[in-house]
Amino acid sequence: MSDGLPPAHAVVDAALAAAGGAGCVVLVEDRSEADVRFATNTVTTNGVRRARSVTVVALADGDRGTSAGVASRSGAVDPVDLVRAALADAEGSPPAEDAAPLLGGGADDRFGDEPATTDLDVLGGVLAALGGAFGRAERSGTVLAGFAEHAMVTTCLGTSTGLRRRHVQPTGMLQLVGRADGGARSAWVGRGTVDFTDVAVEELEAALAQRLAWAAARVELDAGRYETILPPGAVADLMTYLYGVASGADAEDGRSVFSASGGGTRVGERLATLPFELRSDPGAPSLECAPFLAVAASSSRASVFDNGLALERTAWIHDGVLQQLFYPRARAARSGCTPAAPIDNLLLELPGETASTADLVASTERGLLLECLWYIREVDPTTLLLTGLTRDGVYLVEDGEVRGAVNNFRFNESPVDLLSRATQAGATERTLGREFSEWMPRVSMPALRIPDFNMSSVSPAS
Amino acid sequence: MPRETRAFDPDVLAAVREAGLAEARRLGATDASLRVEDVRSQVVSLRDAALETSIDDTELGMGLAVVHEGSVGYAATVEVTPDAAARLAREAVGAARAVAIARRRPVELAPEPSHGEVTWASPHATDPTTVPFTEKLALLEAWSQRLLDADGVDHVTATVRCVSEHKHYADLAGTVATQHRVRLQPQVTAIALEHDGAGFESMRTLAPPVGRGWEYLHGDGWDFDAELAELPELLKEKLAAPTVAAGRYDLVVDPTNLWLTIHESIGHATELDRALGYEAAYAGTSFATPDRLGTLQYGSEVMHVTGDRTVVHGLATVAIDDEGVAAQSFDLVRDGRLVGFQLDRSIAAAAGQDRSNGCAFADSALHVPIQRMANVSLQPAAGDGPTTTELINGVDHGLYILGDKSWSIDMQRYNFQFTGQRFFRIEGGRLAGQVRDVAYQATTTDFWGSMEAVGGRSTYLLAGAFNCGKGQPGQVAPVSHGTPSVLVRDVNVLNARTEGGR
């Protein structure tokens, strides 16, 4: 796709030149995306799009410290105008509490390369397979719905201190829901991928068919606490929420589940008896993500001053002990902690475990197997109590066998608490969270066995 | 000086729509529409009176939708030139061709006549995005400091979000609409740490987001001064309040809380695309299916719910929607019975309806319009109607709930759970101090079926949200919900602490 936008590196250089030697960070994000939705056994909406967003962080030094101004615009921006807008905000701001010297460093070899692109051709195989799948579904009384998308996001980051970083992030996912008997039986499968070469619609269809077959028998159960096997995808959504609230500042201010009673944080405290590791790693195979920080706005998790910060394998929880929270550099210095910024993937592992979800089922005397969780919202931040629903598949397991589908439940549970109560974990595998994959598509998780998962009430939904 | 509001150049727009629509027609599109959008979004957020987050983002983009040989296609870019528009037409038709292999039924759009040239702006005095950053900062600093200075407040978060949305729409039927909307959302949260150092309580302002200008923050539509004045004392009382005893209670629900219950359990449940299965993989379906239209008893007889895209200051209010359909107002629930659905053009056609009722929206030129929520509102009692105090007087043992906080509802919109900002015990018809840790849980039709009374016009408030999510890729829509205070009998109340195992 040809277009009239100037190269990203030229935009970075022009904006830095416009800043005239003042402290400045320029972030150019080129997005190329293609997606298709489907429902009622046919394709519905789709989209192909190309977007560019340019963010300038301009710094102003004053007697009392450095302040920052941030401005973002899309498309063919005028760098001079954008720098002027950011600088005006910087000059009107008090010194920034997250101020830290801009990072220097080298230039990536491919900094000047064209942005990566994608289009619907990447989904050609999926679309062709879906055509057949819809026909088979219709004949078998199943209704398919779902979503396939592929994105290539090219980030170019430059600073007035000479840093030039570039990262190309491919993201893909396919989700498929099958409903039968007017929705009384339903199942979901989702796969994360880089390029769709490893995704076979037929394999997903087979997984759906198995679950819909499991649901041929139906069991009504009351609310209560049940031994429950959370599959990797459900664990992903719960851990993604936990990851999202891991701000050191919030913990120090007494405002989070990671606040220590009486002040300070829970870093160093054992959260789980099992030696879990929750980590992020830009180099994790098949989950590769940017090895440097690129943020267009400061928050309690990350600072615009830290743009370009090298991101490395970081254990948030190690050996069951809380190890690290998010700390922008300035806050970390004040608190005497190690700085750490959010990294775009998340892995939970219980070292040495090799069991699959099916193995966990096989060793269950009586319990529930979930497929996924939905509408997960915070009820109490002090414990990170979350509420939500089971969706598209709850199954009763007896003597190692799935006996049938159970009604849905509303749950009330804290992911921090679940880690402490888990009695078994399976092997860590690439998965996709049903709800939060939109924000955290690169996840590897194990299945977890929870002896007493709190199903708070029955949901008549299916 | 405020920056100039960026207005569209009419010559550029004329050239762009001509190029895009002509190319779409030439390629055989039977329907085509083009949107150019310039959306400026700002966030200023302070933590303990110090600036934490500043966002000032302007997205100028263009999108083109086609129906081509029974398939739809959508393409978008951030370039706004005639060449780019023509290219989008080719890409959109290309997308329609690419997906045809998996299309089992043709897509049709319910007809909509041309509305000619339409120009519309949401009523406001000052576009909030043109107010200087320093002025926003100064106001939030003053608000934060005032609370931090108060006894018992340990931390304060203050945020204001401002949006200015310019949309230019043109279609093959001949409608050319140029619209400008503004909106803003101020939120201030005071936090008090527990005396024993374990945990905290918070209390947020109840001021709703609105389709108004910056004047809203200076008293036009809300009394922020009064609200900030009472917040510390209310928080202190909440921190010292007993935890709620779980059980069944009669609830008087304030509009500042009930709007969200309406949004989740009525607003989304009466979206026909959901009911037909178009959101089965994501947002979900609905228990309120078309075969139950006219027969489903949604709630008690005092329940009258409307959908509209016309109410003044409404966040979903427009003149023309993103498919060229004129804004309308319609009944969804009348005398407690389901009588209508929210529609866009393709869903209207799929359901055999003559016309869309104007609920198409896209949150950006980069996204395809889909059916999104109208302002869905519960109507107050006719005449003078009861006041909130009169509703409370009618309760022997209950709770008065104000402010929204946590929310969750299942994918068919049956089972929901909400918390809130403030919970007052009601004993013998009178308020008897705050309790904490309240969550109410119910099934949609049970809850609305137990609604004994709706308050009068004096209790009515237009509240709403900036952040309604739907669709894949995800889109975020602003929407308002008007509601009076209501009295609901015998609702299940949980204790959130007990639920958390503490």
Please give the pLDDT value at position B8.
82
**Mean of pLDDT over chain B:** 96
pTM over 0.90: yes
ipTM (interface pTM): 0.96
| B473: preceding bond cis by omega (within 30 degrees) | yes
Residue B5 clears pLDDT 70, i.e. is over it: no
Interface of A with B in 244-283 (CB under 8 A): 249, 253-255, 259, 261-263
Among candidates A75, A145, A382 on the partner chain, residue whose Cβ is nearest the Cβ of B281: A145
Interface of A with B in 165-204 (CB under 8 A): 175-177, 179, 183, 186, 188
Q: Is A53 on the interface with B (CB under 8 A)?
A: yes
- Contact list in B for residue A73 (CB cut-off 8 A) is 57-60
Please give the pLDDT value at position B153.
97
State the average pLDDT over residues B261-288. Answer: 97
- Contact list in B for residue A383 (CB cut-off 8 A) is 500, 502
Please give the pLDDT value at position A148.
98
State the average pLDDT over residues B124-128. Answer: 98
| Residue among B206, B401, B405, B256 at smallest CA distance from A380 | B405
Please give the pLDDT value at position B4.
39
Residue B2 clears pLDDT 60, i.e. is over it: no
3-state secondary structure of B302: coil
- Contact list in A for residue B132 (CB cut-off 8 A) is 92
Please give the pLDDT value at position A3.
63
Among candidates B102, B103, B473 on the partner chain, residue whose Cβ is nearest the Cβ of A35: B473
Rounded CA separation B476/B172 (Å): 27
State whether A145 and B406 contact (CB < 8 Å): no
Please give the pLDDT value at position A116.
97
Q: Cβ(B485)–Cβ(B252) under 8 Å?
A: yes
Please give the pLDDT value at position A2.
45
Tens of each residue's pLDDT in chain A, 462 residues = 346 899 999 999 999 999 998 999 999 999 999 999 999 999 999 999 999 999 999 999 999 999 999 999 999 899 999 999 999 999 999 999 999 999 998 999 999 999 999 999 999 999 999 999 999 999 999 999 999 999 999 999 999 999 999 999 999 999 999 999 988 999 999 999 999 999 999 999 999 999 999 999 999 999 999 999 999 999 999 999 999 999 999 999 999 999 998 899 999 999 999 999 999 999 999 999 999 999 999 999 999 999 999 999 999 999 999 999 999 999 999 999 999 999 999 999 999 999 999 999 999 999 999 999 999 999 999 999 999 999 999 999 999 999 999 999 999 999 999 999 999 999 999 999 999 999 999 999 999 999 999 999 999 888
Rounded CA separation B181/B129 (Å): 11
Count residue pairs from A and B with Cβ separation < 8 A: 303
Q: Is A300 on the interface with B (CB under 8 A)?
A: yes
Please give the pLDDT value at position B6.
52
Q: Is A38 on the interface with B (CB under 8 A)?
A: yes
Please give the pLDDT value at position B502.
62
Residue B7 clears pLDDT 90, i.e. is over it: no
- Contact list in A for residue B193 (CB cut-off 8 A) is 254
* Helix/strand/coil (H/E/C) assignment for every residue in chain A: CCCCCCCHHHHHHHHHHHCCCCCEEEEEEEEEEEEEEEECCEEEEEEEEEEEEEEEEEEEEECCEEEEEEEEEECCCCHHHHHHHHHHHHHCCCCCCCCCCCCCCCECCCCCCCCCCCCHHHHHHHHHHHHHHHHHHHHCCEEEEEEEEEEEEEEEEEECCCCEEEEEEEEEEEEEEEEEHHHCEEEEEEEEECCCCCCCHHHHHHHHHHHHHHCCCEECCCCEEEEEEECHHHHHHHHHHHHHCCEHHHHHCCCCCCECCCCCECCCCECCCCCCEEEECCCCCCCCCCCECCCCCCCCCCCHHHCCCECCCEEEEECCEECCCEECHHHHHHHCCCCECCCCCEEEECCCCCCCHHHHHHCCCEEEEEEEEEEEEEEECCCCEEEEEEEEEEEEEECCEEEEEECEEEEEECHHHHHHHCCEECCCEEECCCCCCCCCCCEEECCEEEEEEEEEEEECCC
Q: Is A439 on the interface with B (CB under 8 A)?
A: no
- Contact list in B for residue A121 (CB cut-off 8 A) is 98
3-state secondary structure of B476: strand
Among candidates B105, B415, B472 on the partner chain, residue whose Cβ is nearest the Cβ of A457: B415
- Contact list in A for residue B413 (CB cut-off 8 A) is 461
Q: Cβ(A425)–Cβ(A449) under 8 Å?
A: yes
Instruction: Give the Cβ contact number of residue A207 at 10 Å.
Output: 16
* Pick among A29, A31, A49 to test the B interface (most B CBs inside 10 A): A49
Please give the pLDDT value at position B196.
76
State whether A410 and B496 contact (CB < 8 Å): no
- Contact list in A for residue B63 (CB cut-off 8 A) is 49
* Host H or E run for residue B241: none
- Contact list in A for residue B58 (CB cut-off 8 A) is 72-74
